């Protein structure tokens, strides 16, 4: 039996194709949603772009019929705009002039057919429950909860005799197994490009690091490399180095998730500088860095100066990492800050590194670029798709972030662009992924202790 869904504005702003995701059901769009879309259509960044995209979709549907009476959707459902709920009563504590409450009036008006309100707004869902209205989050772009998300890495046992052959022949994936809490062995399901920590089943202290390729686990190719003088300190960093060092032709997309202090940004920059400054292959033309903070996606005009001056305060974490890379001596690094700043500015003057606001990437084709998207957990799924599809020939896209530290409204660990891209690209031969473990924090003893305790 077909259901009736009432759609909130924030659903369309985050997922402009949402109207096509409800199968053969009936959609109701409150008039206030059209008003909010109209108010957002000139906004900068993703909100404005998505608003205009939804409005264009509605215009295409309007040409096919009367939106008030209802028009058919391509997936077999229907869509109509509801305007006749102005006088629907609500409790006095819910004033009529608030947009959310006008949406609730529509739901009240449709109570006889038991509508379902779909909204990203938790407070609106709470209000709906108070009024006895069923409310749901928009789940089409949701991925698994954090503990069930793809890690890009796994620990497995392998028979001793096969373990000893690993460095020369690799190991067939069907020989690998894991043990449950009762000590019973079970086969393990692996996907392409998944990283593996192999343990010999007869001597647990013996380990190898490898990567799934085809029906085998093969040794890491770049384990002995020291990009820009940096040597991996733990298994996660070995995996991350392998993913970052692979040429764009083999792994054009790298996704690294992990908590603060696990060297995600630091390592990505180190490999980028190694490729540009220390290797003669001319693999990339430059490093391009974006941080999709909320300021980038709306309006950066509140800061003085040109684009670079406006975004520079938001790029200070990048500058901190570059300072550490340009002077490895921790004891004397800041003895001569003028010299350190001069070396830093030289890199930017030579156009080796560029920093841009995320909303200026749209519509471009990037070729032979080492593209780092830092804090990628603040992207929407639509933004993640838009960024990854910007990659032209020879470009490597690197998404970095922590799904547990999200600053953007209506996003969480299941709906952010980083987690979405990770789940959708799982098993792709063109994508390498790794999730850094909390124990792999290398920033400082205090940072590691805070991750464990806080």
Look over the chain and give the mean of its residue pLDDT values, rounded to a whole number. 89
With CA atoms as reference, report the closest residue to 370 among 230, 232, 267. Answer: 267
Percent share of the chain, pLDDT over 70 = 93
pTM metric for this prediction = 0.84
Q: Is the pLDDT of residue 21 over 60?
A: yes
The pLDDT tens digits for 1-19 are 899 999 999 999 989 999 9
The predicted structure's pLDDT at residue 294: 46
The predicted structure's pLDDT at residue 77: 93
Q: Read off the pLDDT band of 296 (50, 70, 90).
A: very low
The pLDDT tens digits for 166-219 are 999 899 999 999 988 777 889 999 999 999 999 998 877 889 999 999 999 999
Pairing of strands 116-118, 78-82: unpaired
* Residues 6+ away with beta carbon under 8 Å from 383: 46, 292, 297, 358, 417
* 187 phi and psi angles, rounded to 5 deg: -65, 155
Q: Is the pLDDT of residue 54 over 80?
A: yes
Concatenated DSSP letters of 155-192: EEEE-HHHHTTHHHH-EEGGG-EEE-TTS-EEE----T
Judge if 4-136 and 238-453 fold alike in CATH terms.
yes
- 143-219 domain in CATH 1.10.10? no
Q: Is the pLDDT of residue 300 over 80?
A: no
Q: Is the pLDDT of residue 302 over 70?
A: no
Q: Is the pLDDT of residue 306 over 60?
A: no
Superfamily of domain 4-136 in CATH is 5'-nuclease (3.40.50.1010)
With CA atoms as reference, report the closest residue to 19 among 65, 56, 47. Answer: 56
The pLDDT tens digits for 383-403 are 899 899 989 999 999 999 999
Concatenated DSSP letters of 66-94: -TTT-EE-TTS-EEEEE---TT----TTS
Token reading at 48: 């404005």
Domain ranges of the chain: 4-136, 143-219, 238-453
The pLDDT tens digits for 123-153 are 999 999 999 999 999 988 888 877 789 999 9
- Whether the CB-CB separation of 366 and 358 falls below 8 Å is answered with no
The predicted structure's pLDDT at residue 295: 47
Mean pLDDT of 238-261: 96
Cα gap 262→256, rounded to integer Å:
10
Cα gap 31→382, rounded to integer Å:
25
CATH code reported for the domain at 238-453: 3.40.50.300
The pLDDT tens digits for 332-346 are 666 677 887 888 888
The single-letter DSSP state of residue 380 is -
The predicted structure's pLDDT at residue 331: 61
Better-scored residue on pLDDT, 183 or 161: 161
């Amino acid at each position: 039996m077909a259901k009736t869904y009432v759609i909130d504005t924030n659903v369309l702003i985050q997922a402009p194709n949402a109207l096509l995701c409800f199968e053969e059901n009936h959609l109701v769009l409150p008039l206030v949603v059209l008003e909010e879309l109209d108010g957002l259509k000139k906004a900068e960044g993703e909100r404005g772009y998505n608003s205009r995209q939804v409005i264009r979709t509605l215009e295409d549907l309007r040409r096919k019929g009367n939106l008030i009476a209802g028009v058919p959707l391509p997936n077999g459902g229907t869509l109509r705009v509801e305007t006749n709920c102005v006088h629907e009563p609500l409790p006095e504590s819910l004033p009529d002039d608030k947009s959310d409450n006008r949406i609730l009036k529509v739901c009240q008006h449709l109570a006889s057919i038991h509508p379902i309100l779909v909204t990203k707004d938790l407070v609106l869902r709470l209000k709906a429950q108070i009024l006895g209205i069923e409310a749901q989050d928009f789940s089409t772009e949701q991925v698994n909860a954090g503990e069930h998300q793809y890690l890009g890495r796994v620990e497995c046992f392998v028979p001793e005799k096969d373990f000893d052959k690993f460095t020369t022949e690799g190991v067939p994936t069907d020989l690998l197994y894991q043990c449950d809490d009762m000590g019973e062995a079970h086969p393990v399901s692996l996907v392409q490009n998944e990283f593996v920590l192999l343990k010999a089943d007869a001597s647990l202290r013996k380990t190898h690091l490898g990567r799934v390729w085809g029906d085998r686990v093969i040794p890491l190719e770049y384990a002995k490399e020291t990009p820009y003088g940096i040597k991996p300190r733990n298994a996660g960093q070995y995996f991350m180095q392998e993913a970052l060092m692979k040429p764009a032709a083999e792994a054009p997309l790298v996704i690294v998730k992990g908590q603060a202090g696990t060297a995600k940004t630091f390592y990505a920059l180190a490999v980028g500088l190694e490729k540009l400054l220390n290797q003669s292959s001319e693999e990339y033309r430059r490093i391009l860095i974006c941080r999709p903070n909320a300021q980038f996606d709306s309006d950066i005009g509140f800061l003085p100066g040109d684009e670079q001056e406006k975004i520079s305060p938001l790029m200070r974490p990048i500058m901190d990492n570059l300072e550490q890379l340009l002077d490895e001596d921790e004891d004397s690094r800041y003895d001569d800050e003028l010299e350190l700043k001069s070396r830093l500015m030289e890199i930017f003057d030579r156009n080796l590194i560029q920093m841009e606001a995320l909303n200026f990437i749209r519509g471009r084709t990037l070729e032979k670029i080492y593209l780092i998207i830092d804090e990628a957990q603040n992207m929407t799924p639509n933004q993640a798709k838009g960024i990854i599809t910007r990659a032209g020939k020879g470009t490597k896209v690197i998404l970095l972030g922590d799904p547990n530290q999200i600053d953007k409204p209506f996003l969480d660990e299941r709906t952010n662009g980083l987690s979405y891209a990770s789940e959708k690209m799982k098993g792709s031969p063109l994508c390498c992924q790794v999730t850094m473990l909390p124990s792999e924090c290398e920033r400082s003893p205090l940072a590691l202790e805070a991750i464990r305790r806080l």
